[in-house]
Amino acid sequence: MAQYVADTDADRLSADADWDVLYVDGETERGERAALEVDDPTTEEVFATVPAATEDDVNAAYERAAEAGSEWAERPPQARAAVIEDAIGIVEGHRETMLDLLATEAGSALVKGNAELDTAVGMMREAASFPTRVGGTVKDSIVPGKENLVKREPAGVVGVISPWNFPFHLSMRAVAPALALGNGVVLKPASTTPITGGLLLARIFEAAGLPEGLLNVVPGHGSEIGDRMAGHPEADVIAFTGSTAVGKRVAGRAVEHLAYPAMELGGNNPHVVLDDADLDRAVDSAVFGTFLHQGQVCISINRHLVHESLYDEYVERLADRAADLTVGDPHDPDTVIGPIIDDDQRDQMMAYVEETVEQGATVETGGDHDGRFVQPTVLSGATNDMSAACNEHFGPVAPVIPFSDDGEAIELANAVDQGLAASVHSTDRERAEAVADRIDAGMVHVNDQPINDEPHVPFGGVKDSGIGRFNDEYVMEEMTRTKWVSVQREEREYPF
């Protein structure tokens, strides 16, 4: 592992590096392709340009991934694991460079950047175990003298379409397992984070010794190459993370040619505080679960559902804590709230706040912005149907909604189309688990907040929040296919 870290030039992984290349069967110069400008959300200035891939590039990427994948699948499992392990060494050896790049491209404050790298490395470590864990079973037969072998093989080619909010981790959680399991990969990162979500991974795996053609990266606008990316006939799995509306379109394109759609979509996540909750713990977790990465997290708290007996004190404490959070340059180690990724995202969340106030809520703190820096905002007197509550606002915004009993809390929690994550606070564990069991979400956390992701635990939602699960054996199943081989050991008697 150490040799790859030593041989990897940190300058090739930095924000100042030349990123004006594609990775299709190895590095490809931009040539006649249009430039995709990448701006720093803090300064709002362009710091890099990358190629805008064309549909022809997507075609070439899939064709090369299919060709390279068939050879890669034949490699010994230890060889595939070694590449993942060497990639881990590169990430860990160049952490500071990557933290700076995440801050520059994605507006990631250091606390978020460190959490993202830790989670990505955890997933990579889990993936490194996959080549020797994946296997088949032997099943008894109803036919005398026969044995049934159930084998697991690589799916083929995995197309990955990743988002901008946790670009490195949410790309890596699909790319590393897909490669470890013997697949070729085509990765389309978000157009706002094409480096940390795409080209950076290509350079890391290139340095780790991954054969050319196995990981192909095609940056570009979804409106231009998204349909081809999702609907390419060489794709056997499409792993998508993003909004529900876009995810439905992507899934539709995938299933047209019977590719498996692994979808992690939007959330509207409730933080339920029952009347016997430890208020200190409930507020502590709420601050983290609401304001990490400016609330730009699919599993962040979207609605605070608080029992009426604790409501006023909860609102006061949450507003006081929110007002004390440091807003500023994500490169500053004291910063908690960095910039929103772009103007459209900021304008949408501010519109939700304004509409919610017009609908009768009160701004307890925040409610304004300076450029792309949105103040941490707490809204009291909110209801479930107000704009900042019924929509996934994806910002540092906390609408607080009162309820009278556990039944009403559950009803409010479930009264949305999404079912990704939730949290419940109570000093009575059995009561909290009973409420958790009745909340329609793929992940529910008791006496915590919803921003949790562990590489050995299934991650995913229900309802409009997705299809399938990432992590551990669950992603292994999605990125492989089963094959039944029967062996008739003894002569068989047939009826005719």
pLDDT at 6 over 80: no
Query: Can you list the domains of the chain with their CATH numbers?
Result: 2-265+465-483 (3.40.605.10), 269-446 (3.40.309.10)
8 Å CB contact between 52 and 35: yes
Separation between Cα atoms, residue 211 and residue 25, nearest integer Å:
9
Q: How large is the average pLDDT for residues 374-390? A: 98
CA 21 to chain centre: 24
Of 126, 206, 234, 264, the catalytic one is 264
Dump pLDDT digits (tens) for 49-86: 999 999 999 999 999 999 999 999 999 999 999 999 99
The helix (run of H) or strand (run of E) holding residue 320 is helix 311-323
Dump pLDDT digits (tens) for 229-276: 999 999 999 999 999 999 999 999 999 999 999 999 999 999 999 999
Of 63, 105, 126, 298, the catalytic one is 298
8 Å CB contact between 311 and 404: no
Q: What is the pLDDT of residue 2?
A: 42
Q: Cβ atoms within 10 A of the Cβ of 214, count?
A: 25
8 Å CB contact between 169 and 196: no
Q: Quick one: pLDDT band at residue 5, thresholds 50, 70, 90?
A: low
Q: Cβ atoms within 10 A of the Cβ of 411, count?
A: 14
8 Å CB contact between 411 and 355: no
Contacts of 123 (CB under 8 A, 6+ apart): 169, 172, 173, 176, 177, 455, 471
Separation between Cα atoms, residue 161 and residue 222, nearest integer Å:
9
Mean of per-residue pLDDT scores for the chain: 96
Q: Cβ atoms within 10 A of the Cβ of 96, count?
A: 11
Q: What is the pLDDT of residue 394?
A: 97
In the residue annotation, 256 being an active-site residue is answered as no
Q: What is the pLDDT of residue 166?
A: 98
pLDDT at 1 over 80: no
Dump pLDDT digits (tens) for 408-460: 999 999 999 999 999 999 999 999 999 999 999 999 999 999 999 999 999 99
In the residue annotation, 212 being an active-site residue is answered as no
Contacts of 245 (CB under 8 A, 6+ apart): none
Q: Quick one: pLDDT band at residue 324, thresholds 50, 70, 90?
A: very high
Q: What is the pLDDT of residue 27?
A: 85
Cα dihedral value 319, 323, 326, 330, nearest 10:
60
Q: How large is the average pLDDT for residues 152-172? A: 98
Q: Quick one: pLDDT band at residue 31, thresholds 50, 70, 90?
A: confident
Q: How large is the average pLDDT for residues 22-42? A: 92
